[in-house]
Each structure stands twice: as C-alpha cells, then as structure tokens.
Amino acid sequence: MTKLPEQVKLSQVIQVLEGSIAPVNCVDDPKVCSRSDFCATRDVWEEMNRAMVQVLESTSLQDLVERQGQKEQPKTTMYHI
C-alpha cells in the first residue's frame, strides 16, 4: 500500500528503521531493572520518551520536506559596486 508523504509519521519511520526510541531499556520493559518501581530517574526517562513520541507522531514526512525547503537559502549572487 502506497502512502502519501503527509500520511507517514516520523514515528513510523523511526519504529521501522530503529525500533524503540526509549532512552533506556527499562522504559519499554520495567522488568529489566529491579529498581524500576521506585526509580525517580526512570520517571524522567518516561517523560522524555513521551515528549519525543509526541513530536514524532505530530510530524509527517511532508512536514520534514517543508521544513527543509524553508532552511535552504536561495542561491543569489550579490554584486558590490
């Protein structure tokens, strides 16, 4: 099935190419660390993960193309007299 660039979210691309974007393993699987239930740092990692997912979910490939277009400077020649 073919999708248009505006239909493809960056979260989908990252998931296919990289897998999880969680900053540490215990965010995806709390069982990997015996301290997960009472670890304040893990709470921060989870917040970071949610923020990253939100950005990636709200950005499409088309959005990325448009952002890049805005960043490219027109090639003009400046003349000085």
pLDDT of residue 71: 87
Q: Which residues pair with 60 in a beta bridge?
A: 9
Residues (pLDDT < 50) of the chain are none
Lookup result for tokens 């020649």: 77
Cα–Cα distance for residue pair 20/45, rounded to 1 Å: 13
47 and 40 Cβ atoms separated by less than 8 Å: no
pTM of the model: 0.77
pLDDT of residue 75: 67
Closest to 63 (Cα-Cα) out of 10, 15, 17, 2:
10
pLDDT of residue 12: 95
Name the residue ranges covered by the structural domains of the chain. Answer: 23-64
Closest to 24 (Cα-Cα) out of 44, 10, 54:
44
